Amino acid sequence: MSESHSQNFNHLKIHTQYSICEGAARIDDLQEYSKKNKIKTLGLCDTSNLCGALEFAEKIAKSGTQPIIGTQINFKIGETIGLLPLFALNEVGYKNIIELSSLSYLKKR
């Protein structure tokens, strides 16, 4: 990827160790990687939880990278079942994601 393209690329669906059986990236490693590679933005998208959101936001911001908080929630429409990635644009969006994530987790059983 050329220099100009890589500077405009945003990593939005990062799965950390909090995505059980899906993610292996440790937040400390992401912090170092972001700083070393001068990543502009990095989006958290752990599945069915926001457990690492605060740690992610604090550490990624310290590296000079803009953290984007999100998650993937389970959904079912008719017979279709899947995962829907959601990202917070602001504090209201974050509160909405918390509510939707909780509902998704409670209703998937």
Q: What is the pLDDT of residue 53?
A: 95
Q: What is the pLDDT of residue 52?
A: 93
Say if residues 8 and 17 touch (Cβ distance below 8 Å): no
Angle CA 29–94–62, to nearest 5: 30
**Using one digit for the tens of pLDDT, what is the confidence trace for 80-104?**
989 999 999 999 999 999 999 888 8
Please report which confidence band the pLDDT of residue 75 belongs to, taking 50, 70 and 90 as the band edges.
confident
AA identity, residue 41: T
Q: What is the pLDDT of residue 1?
A: 45
pTM: 0.84
CATH number for the region 3-107 comes to 3.20.20.140
Please report which confidence band the pLDDT of residue 108 belongs to, taking 50, 70 and 90 as the band edges.
low
**Using one digit for the tens of pLDDT, what is the confidence trace for 43-55?**
999 998 999 999 9
Alpha helices in 38-81 (DSSP H): 53-62
